[in-house]
Amino acid sequence: MRTPLTGALAAGLLIAGAVCVSVLRAQVPAPASTTIPKRPAPRTPWGDPDLQGIWSSDEEAGVPFERPLGQTKAKVNGTELEALLEEREHQRADNAATIGGVTGAGPVHWYEIWGRQSARTSLVVDPADGRVPRLIPEAEQRQQRRTRPMGSFSAGPFERPDDFSLYDRCITRGLPAMMFPAIYNNNTRIVQAPGYVAVTYEMIHETRVIPLDGRPFASGRIRGYLGDARARWDDGALVIETRHFSDKTNYRGAGAGLRLVERFRRSHRGLRYEVTVEDPHTFTRSWTAALNLTPGIALFEYACHEGNYAMRNMLSAARAAEAGGRAVK
């Protein structure tokens, strides 16, 4: 309980404090301007914007790629955010328990993606509803003809290595999927040199070495899992355009006709990444997804193919199933 004596003492201290502050203020020269000078963006010794470093997408883990139906806001705060984060953790727990059952391991605090606090409601930022546009009818039919769209997560049959996904086979998670957070290894390293930029993805340790010198794209007869990329600078942002993907790739139904325009630029907490996805033979319109990347700690080796015993073991499991469960050597 506050007594008259403590009240008077508090009032006295307040007055004394105010006097002291005003005296101190009087001794400090007033600033010439009230505007805070903008910190210049870092530059490389040869003058390009400097985006180098290890960047993590962990902070965006848990944000759904597409905005859930019924959610109208791109970002939430306050109690709405608390409820959203709670719901996400429940969903994650439910998903893992439903799909994985008793087969897994480890407490949830091990998860690199557990407890993330992003207030965003979708990674898709355009269209405004946060959802990937519909496929055109031709692309929908194409997707339905895919026999094992999820690789080892499909029901099979698995008869040869090609029946597994490029991810199962340690080739690539594919562009632009490799940028978005998975359950671990969500780190990207950017290294720059005059005329080039190299982007390395921890999962599955692919490195794209991309020219910045304005050279034209290679012939469209040359196709790659990661396509053919050219980069340029645009007002401090690194813009990478990629075309000529192999028809063995499949990103949400798009393959050889996929064209990506990625943008990396400095943001207040790290880097902002945006990718615009175009394929008129697949999507009814182009669309854009975005990530906020924060400084990562380290990029570890992920030499995946060399120790990928799973390929042999999964094929062996499939042969055992054919043989009625008998061991197959």
Partner 1 sequence: MRSRLFGVVAGAAFAVAAAAVPVMAHHSFAAEFDAKKPVKLRGTVTKMEWINPHSWIHIDVKTPDGKVEQWMVEGGAPNALLRRGWNKNSLLPGTEILVEGFQAKDGAMRANGRDITFPDGKKLFVGSSGTGAPDERPDK
Site string for partner 1, 54-73 (x = CB under 8 A): -------xx--x--------
For the purposes of burial, counting CB atoms within 10 Å of the CB of 155, is it exposed (0-12), middle (13-18) or buried (19 or more)?
A: exposed
CB of 180 to partner 1, least distance (A): 5
Instruction: Choose which of 120, 223, 243, 252 interacts with partner 1 (CB under 8 A).
Output: 252
Residue 75 backbone phi and psi in degrees, to 5: -150, 145
Q: Does 34 bind partner 1 (CB under 8 A)?
A: no
Within its chain, how far is the Cα of 257 from the centroid?
22
Q: Does 127 bind partner 1 (CB under 8 A)?
A: no
CB of 10 to partner 1, least distance (A): 29
Distances (CA, A) of 297 to 2, 182, 187, 198: 51, 17, 9, 18
Instruction: Choose which of 2, 25, 33, 301 interacts with partner 1 (CB under 8 A).
Output: 301
Looking only at residues 35 through 54 of this chain, which bind partner 1 when binding is defined by CB under 8 A?
none
Binding window for partner 1 (CB under 8 A); candidates: 2-10, 30-38, 44-52, 294-302? 294-302
3-state DSSP assignment of residue 20: helix
CB of 172 to partner 1, least distance (A): 9
Q: Nearer to partner 1 by C-beta: 86 or 234?
A: 86
Amino acid at 91: Q
Looking only at residues 219 through 248 of this chain, which bind partner 1 when binding is defined by CB under 8 A?
none
Q: Does 320 bind partner 1 (CB under 8 A)?
A: yes
Q: Nearer to partner 1 by C-beta: 217 or 225?
A: 225
First to last CA, the chain: 82
Alpha carbons 65 and 56: distance in angstroms, whole number: 17
Looking only at residues 80 through 99 of this chain, which bind partner 1 when binding is defined by CB under 8 A?
82, 86, 89-90, 92-93, 95-97, 99
Q: Nearer to partner 1 by C-beta: 242 or 249?
A: 249
Q: Nearer to partner 1 by C-beta: 12 or 149?
A: 149
Looking only at residues 129 through 168 of this chain, which bind partner 1 when binding is defined by CB under 8 A?
149-153, 156, 158, 164-168
Cis peptide before 176 (omega within 30 of 0): yes
Cis peptide before 204 (omega within 30 of 0): yes
Q: Does 321 bind partner 1 (CB under 8 A)?
A: yes
Instruction: Choose which of 124, 135, 139, 170 interacts with partner 1 (CB under 8 A).
Output: 170
Looking only at residues 187 through 206 of this chain, which bind partner 1 when binding is defined by CB under 8 A?
202, 204
State the number of binding residues for partner 1 (CB under 8 A).
78
3-state DSSP assignment of residue 32: coil
Instruction: Choose which of 1, 5, 36, 102 interacts with partner 1 (CB under 8 A).
Output: 102
CB of 322 to partner 1, least distance (A): 11
Other beta carbons within 10 Å of 106: 7
Strand 207-211 and strand 187-193: the pairing is: unpaired
Site string for partner 1, 267-286 (x = CB under 8 A): --------------------
Cis peptide before 157 (omega within 30 of 0): yes
Asked if residue 278 lies in contact with residue 286, where contact means CB atoms within 8 angstroms, the answer is yes
Structure tokens at 208: 């794209």
Distances (CA, A) of 249 to 17, 174, 254: 69, 7, 8
Instruction: Choose which of 27, 40, 182, 278 interacts with partner 1 (CB under 8 A).
Output: 182
